[in-house]
Chain A
């Protein structure tokens, strides 16, 4: 049918609501069927628009907004954590690693720390008994953790390089003597050990020994003594 080619154009024209283009308008004026179809399509789109308008513009009840406001007023917004969850995970992992690192090489770590505390090089050469800081235990009784912290302070402390020792008051004299003895022996030992010059042992030279002729005499049995006389 000749009018079929105008079908789509008629629908487009009805949908857009625009004026018909020249050729189509002339045809619609002439063809009653296409004129009726155009009117039908226009009615259909008008009905669609009316239906859409009805569906989209329903009246809001007056109680709606006050209800929402009341609900909003009772609602508490959960405060957003400024530190994201991933940071917590990373921090926990780092903490676990640190704990594992500190606890695993326990022996080596303690040894190193002990050496750091009583390292002889740290003690001044002129340090005598008077420089040893001796603190009676009763005056400085501390908890285990505090003493541990104190040990670290002794290593890195800025006030004194001297190690602090806890002792009973009656043991003070004994400890001073022991320290002096240890200190002195250490100095002597240092002198021997730290001698850098190579020592080449000289071969022992023994001069010729002159052996004289020996005379043998018989022993006197009465005296019970054996005598050897040389002439």
Chain B
């Protein structure tokens, strides 16, 4: 059924056993993002050293898509430079806006390709993007305060 393309096993696994959930005591930037139409909320900490992301931790409440997506992002974007993370984020955003026409490149997106099915459900795209947009916001804050370092 169509629903199975949305709720891939990988997504339900991340939802039940989320990675990097629990906020770190120290961070370079902390952001709080909400999804006003459904009440999903997330707080996300990003830490960076010498322009490289060293830790992403988060806490929040939300549906399986939003929670799995932030779990995946928090794993995928760590140990990347901000430029690399930005490229991955752009590829993920494109995938979400593809209306089901793209599968996503697993070499770049890894587990995040499992979210490809979300693009066929317009109401859920913002769920999948919640954690990624929070990361983007945190990255901007870190780079504004440190000039990229």
Q: Do A and B associate with each other?
A: no
Instruction: Point out residues on B near A: beta carbons under 8 Å.
Output: none
